[in-house]
Chain A
Amino acid sequence: DAGITQSPRHKVTETGTPVTLRCHQTENHRYMYWYRQDPGHGLRLIHYSYGVKDTDKGEVSDGYSVSRSKTEDFLLTLESATSSQTSVYFCAISESGGGLGQPQHFGDGTRLSIL
Chain B
Amino acid sequence: AQSVTQLDSQVPVFEEAPVELRCNYSSSVSVYLFWYVQYPNQGLQLLLKYLSGSTLVESINGFEAEFNKSQTSFHLRKPSVHISDTAEYFCAVKETGANNLFFGTGTRLTVIP
Contacts and interface: CB of A to CB of B under 8 A. Distances in A.
B74 interface: no
B71 interface: no
Contacts of A41: 105
Interface residues of A, number: 27
Interface residues of B, number: 27
Contacts of A58: 100
Interface stretch (B10-18, B78-86, B88-96): B88-96
Interface string B96-113: 111111011110000000
Contacts, number: 62
B51 interface: yes
A98 B98 contact: yes
Contacts of B98: 97-98
B54 interface: no
Contacts of B101: 33, 45, 104
19 contacts: A42-B4, A42-B6, A42-B90, A42-B103, A42-B104, A42-B105, A42-B106, A44-B103, A45-B100, A45-B101, A48-B99, A50-B99, A98-B96, A98-B100, A101-B49, A101-B52, A103-B49, A106-B45, A108-B42
Given A42-B104, A109-B42, 20 more contacts: A31-B99, A40-B105, A48-B99, A48-B100, A50-B99, A56-B99, A58-B100, A59-B100, A90-B44, A92-B44, A98-B100, A99-B97, A101-B51, A101-B96, A104-B46, A104-B101, A106-B43, A107-B43, A108-B41, A109-B41
